[in-house]
Structure 1
Amino acid sequence: MAEDLTIVKEGTKEERYEALLPQIQGLLYGETNLIANLANIAAALKEGMNFFWVGFYQVDSEDELVLGPFQGPVACTRIKKGKGVCGASWQRDEVLIVPNVDEFPGHIACASASKSEIVIPIKKDGKTMCVLDVDSDILADFDEIDQKYLQKILDLLP
């Protein structure tokens, strides 16, 4: 049974992630269904970190991502490999931190309020299966701290 998240609204970004990590670990404990786990991660990050948009795009074919579990405003349903921040992260097989999405070549504006973004590929057996996409309505909102802790959270996936 899920418990309410203890939301830490004060402290540094790192302190808020540190408070959120064990809660997410508890949400994932014993659950092997990927969709359920991605949904709970998205909800916990949205609520716990107050991000504008948090979600996952799953690899649907060799050249397209499809929208998975997310929290926030409605989103683009399909993204081609190499297109936008998510498609570029998948194609390059690397984390992308974009301080100003309007300056990213080929950015796909699913929500005009989105200002900055971080995308992290998630691999299983050495192959990307989906990407975590986190958007902020604040410019330059993401940094190495976000990358470090978001990766720690993703490493909790069974």
Structure 2
Amino acid sequence: MSKHEIYAETAAQIEAVLEGETDRTAQMATVSCLLSQAFPNSYFWTGFYVVDPARESELVVGPYQGTLGCLRIPFGRGVCGTAAAERETQIVEDVHAIPNHIACDSRSNSEIVVPVFDRAGKLIAVFDVDSTEKGTFDEVDKDWLERIVASIFAK
């Protein structure tokens, strides 16, 4: 199956499993799990960093699949913090080539981070996927991941 077909199938699974579910933790855990399982050879770390309500300029690790993640990330720092600060998806072909990268696991080589908004347009989290291979993520990933998180969290 092509990457596009895998995303389409997985998005349908996510929608079906989460139908009627309103708990954000359950939603995030399900999205992380199903996407991680759909791409076992390219998704090394898959999960959410949630905006800390006590410190609205900091992310705290949320539901994820993979090795130990960073516990907290300030807005503007690393790929996740940049996605949160700029409120735009970040695709990084080689994380070691950017000066403010935070190495939670040195085996990560490329990354995509998608900001997650609620229905009012407020940033609630970022969805982060790391790969051990360089150049793993592209516009197909960006398009599908943005669609998936919007379909769950912005409705």
Is TM more than 0.5 here? yes
Distance 1:123 1:43 in 2: 20
- Confirm whether residue 145 of structure 1 aligns to residue 137 of structure 2: no
Q: Paired residue for 1:5?
A: none
Q: Percent identity?
A: 43
- Confirm whether residue 62 of structure 1 aligns to residue 56 of structure 2: yes
CA contact (8 A) 1:17 1:49 kept: no
Instruction: State the superposition RMSD in angstroms.
Output: 0.9
Q: 2:12 aligns with which of 17, 22, 26?
A: 22
Aligned residues: 148
Shift of 1:82: 0.5
Q: 1:129 aligns with which of 119, 124, 130?
A: 124
Moved >6 Å (runs of 4+): none
Distance 2:20 2:151 in 1: 11
CA contact (8 A) 2:117 2:150 kept: no
Q: Paired residue for 2:88?
A: 94
Distance 1:121 1:151 in 2: 8
- Confirm whether residue 113 of structure 1 aligns to residue 107 of structure 2: yes
Normalised by the size of structure 1, how large is the TM-score?
A: 0.91
Distance 1:91 1:155 in 2: 18
Shift of 1:156: 2.2
> Structure 2: which 5+ residue stretches go unaligned?
none
Residue identity matched to 2:133? I
Residue identity matched to 2:49? Y
> Structure 1: which 5+ residue stretches go unaligned?
1-10
Shift of 1:151: 1.3
Residue identity matched to 1:129? I
Shift of 1:62: 2.1
